[in-house]
Copies of this chain bind each other. A is one copy, B any other.
Amino acid sequence: MLSQEENELLTRTGPGTLAGRYLRLFWQPVYRSVDLAPGQAVPIAILGERFTLYRGEEGAPHLVAFRCAHRGTQLSTGWVEGDCIRCLYHGWKYEASGQCVEQPGEDESFAAKIKIAGYPVREYLGLVFAYLGEGGPPELRRYPDFERPGVIHAGAPEVWPCNYFNRMDNDGDPQHTAFTHWESSVRANGAARAPIVSCSAEETDYGLRTESAQGDGRVTTVFVHMPNTLQVRPRGRLEGEMGDAKKLAEGQFAVDRLTWRVPIDDDNCVAFGIELAHLSGEAAEAYRARAARQEQLTSPAPSDLGEDVLAGRLRIRDADPRLNTFKLFWVEDYAAQVGQGVAADRSGEHLGQLDVSVILRRKIWLRELKALAEGRPLKGWSQAQGLADGSVVEPSTMAVAEPGKASAHTLPEGDRA
């Protein structure tokens, strides 16, 4: 439970806010690489600010201010020329640094005086990262575990109408899998995951490590790279229909996944997720093909189904049985997390012993924000390697359950705390 003031501190990320300043000290993913073609410009919103993202004709991504310095038109509507962008309204042209280099009809000395904001940009692991903070950028943090052989797949960004901290809280929350994902687990595996009976969390030099144990002693570990990146080793989510999901569950096919929770503004957030599948040869090709097919399936949109659930128009158990596992997972998470309200009210919570990781992460965040406010040194989070290798893969389910039967939620005696 937080005070209203602490809750505001964690959830407000616009320019000038403490959490906004803190997040801006780290490179943040802002777009998926495959979604930005050479010569394409798009408007984006991150951390309560708008920007123009474009990819030069030779392929390099660039990020500059949202508006032209002349009369304020949205620059993304203009033309990409080489590594420059030209405004649709009167043709002013800017370099990727934001320097104006051409103003048709104006004195040549005028352009030199005009500069809009330009931001450092890098591409890594299928995502476009930008540094939006003041001063020179730090080194781009690398994730060596994801530079190993295999197939890297960046999923479609998930834009949700809730504050990013609703999703961050879920990152250290092992218990939700047994309940929120009850229906999809039962459909894919014939049984829900057994509930967690204990959970521990510790601060590390890269962020947090959370370990949870089910009633039968099986242990799962998840990792948070501060400030806003989750690393897990779940079963892959690229299966097609429920039949594929079952086959994958049997085969214990696992992937390594990194997910960034990035505020669009204080009421909306986007999750960028990448997966490394430890596959090669034909298996890798089949995986890539499955990923491509999944991208085609845009209907029904999981967020629309999630809204139906929140409005009481749809019960999760009544969702179309042909929905693939990943989409059903999405719907379930959406209902639980957007269902907390646009910004969860943490002043009315009642936290328990399974919330230790949620509590610790907020505590670390508040400590760092306090240091930032007071001008004291911040903890320098280090790069981490080999995290998932030593940890147990998220286990398959154990309890036998019948889908759609609500009483199945009555826990077996042994699972009660």
A residues engaging B (CB < 8 A)? 39-43, 57, 67, 69-74, 76-77, 79-82, 86-91, 93, 102-108, 110, 113-114, 169, 173, 175-176, 178-180, 195-199, 309-312, 315-316, 332, 335-337, 339-341, 344-346, 348-355, 406-407, 409-411, 415-417
| A90, B417: Cβ atoms closer than 8 Å | no
**Bound CA–CA A410/B102 (angstroms):** 9
CB distance from A46 to the nearest CB of B (A): 14
Complex interface: chain B residues within 8 A of A311 (CB): 43
Contact A350 B39, CB 8 Å, known A88-B332, A196-B105: no
| A104, B353: Cβ atoms closer than 8 Å | no
| A407, B81: Cβ atoms closer than 8 Å | yes
* Residue in contact with A104 in the complex, picked from B114, B349, B417, CB distance below 8 Å: B417
| B309, A106: Cβ atoms closer than 8 Å | no
Complex interface: chain B residues within 8 A of A409 (CB): 79, 81, 86, 91, 93
Write the chain B residue with the least CB distance to A196.
B105
| B76, A312: Cβ atoms closer than 8 Å | yes
A-B pairs with beta carbons under 8 Å apart, 19 shown:
A43-B310, A71-B349, A71-B355, A74-B310, A74-B335, A77-B309, A77-B336, A79-B406, A79-B409, A81-B407, A86-B406, A89-B339, A91-B179, A102-B411, A102-B416, A105-B198, A105-B353, A105-B354, A114-B350
**Bound CA–CA A401/B22 (angstroms):** 48
In the complex, the count of this chain's copies comes to 3
| B336, A89: Cβ atoms closer than 8 Å | yes
Complex interface: chain B residues within 8 A of A315 (CB): 40
| B352, A406: Cβ atoms closer than 8 Å | no
| A81, B176: Cβ atoms closer than 8 Å | no
Interface centre among A73, A344, A349, A354 (most CB of B within 10 A): A73
* Residue in contact with A69 in the complex, picked from B70, B106, B350, CB distance below 8 Å: B350
CB distance from A52 to the nearest CB of B (A): 9
| A91, B178: Cβ atoms closer than 8 Å | yes
| A175, B335: Cβ atoms closer than 8 Å | no
Write the chain B residue with the least CB distance to A195.
B104
Complex interface: chain B residues within 8 A of A407 (CB): 81-82
| A354, B79: Cβ atoms closer than 8 Å | no
**Bound CA–CA A280/B114 (angstroms):** 52
**Bound CA–CA A77/B311 (angstroms):** 9
| A108, B310: Cβ atoms closer than 8 Å | no
* Residue in contact with A77 in the complex, picked from B71, B105, B339, B417, CB distance below 8 Å: B339
**Bound CA–CA A344/B73 (angstroms):** 8
| B406, A88: Cβ atoms closer than 8 Å | no
| A104, B178: Cβ atoms closer than 8 Å | yes
**Bound CA–CA A313/B350 (angstroms):** 44
Contact A175 B88, CB 8 Å, known A73-B339, A77-B309, A312-B42: no
**Bound CA–CA A407/B82 (angstroms):** 8
**Bound CA–CA A309/B43 (angstroms):** 10
Contact A351 B77, CB 8 Å, known A43-B312, A86-B409: no
Interface centre among A72, A103, A407 (most CB of B within 10 A): A72
**Bound CA–CA A311/B43 (angstroms):** 7
**Bound CA–CA A66/B416 (angstroms):** 26
Complex interface: chain B residues within 8 A of A316 (CB): 77, 88
